[in-house]
Structure 1
Amino acid sequence: MRVAIMGSGGVGGYFGARLAEAGHDVTFIARGEHLAEMQRHGLRVESIEGDLHLAQVKVSDDPSRVGAVDAVLVAVKSWQVAEAARAIRPMIGPDTFVVPLENGVEAADTLAGILGQAHVLDGLCGILAWREGPGHIRHAGVSPFVRFGERDNRRSKRALRLKAAFDQTRGVAAEIPDDIQVAVWSKFLFICAMSGIGSVTRAPIGVTRTLPETRRMIEQLLAEIEAVARARGVALPADAAARALRFIDALPEASTASMQRDIMAGLPSELDAQNGAVVRLGREAGVATPVNAMVHAALLPQERAARHITG
């Protein structure tokens, strides 16, 4: 299968490397020092599922030089999705499909608005990974998984083809859920709560899930996210919040979310696509989200500073 990886950091770098290791034709879209190092020495992945080093990889900073592919996995930050969609247009042929692997719940809508509904599936992933350095990905926690499907939940040959490609890999579990929106929001539940609590406290999850005061905040964040999802017609299971909390409790004590790491580094973050989205979508649905609103408001000054927004 011919696959392009748009965004070759911790998420895209890991899943793309596993597909390439399994023999698929993978092209990484990267830039800067990461691009240069991959061109010189390939891509190295340190992983709890087994290390690998691809001595040679296909990598480019120009999607127009790649040509049409079978599938594009979009693994950029949430605020970069619209820009990424415009950039990957040269790789979109008549049968190409695009799968977002972002943390939020709005990426598929953004992609479909630019590329057309027919080219877009919805999707998500689970992994604790980051770019350790140029050409070097570190996977430190969570057994990696990808879940994707047609936005209307019909079974399709193209989704099954992508699942078959991932089934050939080492270190990735792939699934086509019965309801992709339930899957996307179920992941959003825990990552948004984890991102929010970690970003306002600057503490790892092992601390915030143990301290009674911050654990209560996690529970409140989860309850609000769940209420917004249900108000939007997402058929979450009755124990969705409890499942998310169990997942949080099972993470390594030192775990932090990518949004938290970006905020602590003074970088632009996915605040608007996570806690900000809960507030925005809750307002549209008539659902109160006071704890998510507090998290969003508390972090907004730093977010604006990171993006050099004044006034």
Structure 2
Amino acid sequence: MRILVLGAGAIGGHFGGLLAHAGADVTFLVRPKRQKILKNGITLRTPEQTYTVPIKTILKDQLDGHYDLIIIACKAYDLPNAMDAVRPAVGPDTYILPLLNGLKQLDILDEEFGPGKIIGGFVLNISTMLPDGSIESKSPKGGKLIFGPRFKSQQDICHTLENLFNKAAFVTNRSDNIQAPMWDKFVRITLLGAVNCLLRGTVGDVMATRDGQWITLSLMKECLDVAEAAGYPLGEDSINSIATNMTREGSDYNSSMFRDLEHGYQIEGDHLLGDMLRRAEDLKCEAPLLAIAYCHLQTYMARRERERRPEELG
């Protein structure tokens, strides 16, 4: 099976690198600068081991035919460029596994390539690309990749992928109802991003305020209501774990979107909060606090665009 991984950063580099280490036929679609960094292999640092894995890299204009599986691991705002980059590699028998946050990517990719090609999936992994180009994961056992068929026609390919992924040094979970765990993560990351970014602090910072807890729990209810209205209610254990994590005093729990916002970077606000709010409106769910949080992020993005330096525009 020929696998093309778009993105050799914290997610694509980590999981793609571990697949390559396990003997899978993996090629990374990268930019020229990243290709130079990876000429001697990709270094993966996990709690258990450090790997330096020889890998194949390719530039967009060097794509050599169709691939059996394309793994897309980029930020949501880069998805349009990612689709343009991988299009020459998509053939009649190609499947695409996007490892992005949220749900909106499924709708976008369905429209572009056809829903039968797009497998559901996401990862649970805390990883960072370090200044030297290596990737450090703080998650035990290599993190977790959850995936599964969205249609009966994808059962066979998902069985094949399960066997392949099980050979790699990360945890693989196949779900035949993949939309349910995807909704669970969608609620979690949207809620965390909304609380962190709107109130501009970690969970512990927010819990140190007079009104932080009720604002957090109110935002949580709004997100849970949307999931239930969409047909994917979260279970009691999941709800309890979210409430516990989101109200723990002294916690440094925070989202990558909050960290990006604090550094002045581009954020996935539209893909997460904006999409949750649109679904709330479509499903007639009240979500006033979510609307305020999303407006906060829209204002940040508008100001960021206005203040962009000339070199960024080039």
Q: How has the CA–CA distance of structure 1 residues 129 and 253 changed in structure 2, closer, same or farther, with 3 Å as cutoff?
A: farther
Q: Which residue of 2 aligns with 1:173?
A: 171
Q: Distance in 2 between matches of 1:108 and 1:309?
A: 32
Q: Please report how far the alpha carbon of residue 86 of structure 1 lies from its aligned counterpart in structure 2 after TM superposition.
A: 2.7
Q: How has the CA–CA distance of structure 1 residues 84 and 155 changed in structure 2, closer, same or farther, with 3 Å as cutoff?
A: closer
Q: How has the CA–CA distance of structure 1 residues 63 and 160 changed in structure 2, closer, same or farther, with 3 Å as cutoff?
A: farther
Q: Distance in 1 between matches of 2:66 and 2:153?
A: 25
Q: Which amino acid aligns with 2:289?
A: V
Partner SS, residue 91 of structure 2: strand
Q: How has the CA–CA distance of structure 1 residues 167 and 224 changed in structure 2, closer, same or farther, with 3 Å as cutoff?
A: same
Deviations for 1:238-275, whole angstroms, at most 9, x for unmatched residues?
4442233456689x954532211221111111001111
Q: Which residue of 2 aligns with 1:297?
A: 295
Partner SS, residue 70 of structure 2: strand
Deviations for 1:22-71, whole angstroms, at most 9, x for unmatched residues?
111111122253232012x32112222432112x3111231652432221
Q: How has the CA–CA distance of structure 1 residues 211 and 9 changed in structure 2, closer, same or farther, with 3 Å as cutoff?
A: farther
Q: Please report how far the alpha carbon of residue 185 of structure 1 lies from its aligned counterpart in structure 2 after TM superposition.
A: 0.5
Q: Which residue of 2 aligns with 1:23?
A: 23
**Does the CA-based 8 Å contact 1:208-1:215 persist in structure 2?**
yes
Q: Which residue of 1 aligns with 2:155?
A: 156
RMSD: 2.6
Q: Which amino acid aligns with 2:42?
A: L
Q: Which residue of 2 aligns with 1:8?
A: 8
Deviations for 1:132-170, whole angstroms, at most 9, x for unmatched residues?
225311212466111112213676111111111111111
Partner SS, residue 108 of structure 1: helix
**Does the CA-based 8 Å contact 1:278-1:289 persist in structure 2?**
no
- How many residue pairs match? The answer is 306
Q: How has the CA–CA distance of structure 1 residues 156 and 30 changed in structure 2, closer, same or farther, with 3 Å as cutoff?
A: same
- Higher mean displacement: 131-140 or 121-130: 131-140
Q: Distance in 2 between matches of 1:211 and 1:154?
A: 51
Q: How has the CA–CA distance of structure 1 residues 178 and 242 changed in structure 2, closer, same or farther, with 3 Å as cutoff?
A: farther
Residues 1:272 and 2:256 are matched in the alignment: no
Q: How has the CA–CA distance of structure 1 residues 87 and 230 changed in structure 2, closer, same or farther, with 3 Å as cutoff?
A: same
**Does the CA-based 8 Å contact 1:222-1:241 persist in structure 2?**
no
Of residues 255, 258, 274 in structure 2, which corresponds to 1:257? Answer: 255
Structure 1 gaps, min length 5: none
TM-score (norm 2): 0.87
- Higher mean displacement: 189-198 or 104-113: 189-198
Q: Please report how far the alpha carbon of residue 83 of structure 1 lies from its aligned counterpart in structure 2 after TM superposition.
A: 2.7
- The structure with more strand, counted as a fraction of residues: 1
Deviations for 1:270-304, whole angstroms, at most 9, x for unmatched residues?
00111121111111111011221121112222112
Q: Distance in 1 between matches of 2:205 and 2:267?
A: 22
Q: Please report how far the alpha carbon of residue 225 of structure 1 lies from its aligned counterpart in structure 2 after TM superposition.
A: 1.2
Q: How has the CA–CA distance of structure 1 residues 25 and 280 changed in structure 2, closer, same or farther, with 3 Å as cutoff?
A: same
Q: Which residue of 1 aligns with 2:41?
A: 42
Q: Which residue of 1 aligns with 2:82?
A: 84
Structure 2 gaps, min length 5: 309-314
- Give the percent of matched residue pairs that are identical in Structure 1 and Structure 2: 25
| Aligned positions of 1:1-311 closer than 5 A | 1-39=1-39, 41-54=40-53, 56-62=54-60, 65-133=63-131, 135-141=133-139, 144-152=143-151, 156-170=155-169, 172-208=170-206, 213-246=211-244, 253-308=251-306
- Higher mean displacement: 117-126 or 252-261: 252-261
Q: Please report how far the alpha carbon of residue 209 of structure 1 lies from its aligned counterpart in structure 2 after TM superposition.
A: 5.7
Q: Distance in 1 between matches of 2:31 and 2:260?
A: 19
Q: Which amino acid aligns with 2:25?
A: D
TM-score (norm 1): 0.88
Larger radius of gyration between Structure 1 and Structure 2? 2
Q: Please report how far the alpha carbon of residue 194 of structure 1 lies from its aligned counterpart in structure 2 after TM superposition.
A: 1.5
Partner SS, residue 5 of structure 1: strand
Q: How has the CA–CA distance of structure 1 residues 247 and 173 changed in structure 2, closer, same or farther, with 3 Å as cutoff?
A: farther
Q: Distance in 2 between matches of 1:236 and 1:161?
A: 29
Partner SS, residue 271 of structure 2: coil
Q: How has the CA–CA distance of structure 1 residues 154 and 115 changed in structure 2, closer, same or farther, with 3 Å as cutoff?
A: closer
Deviations for 1:83-124, whole angstroms, at most 9, x for unmatched residues?
312321111122211011111111111111101122111111
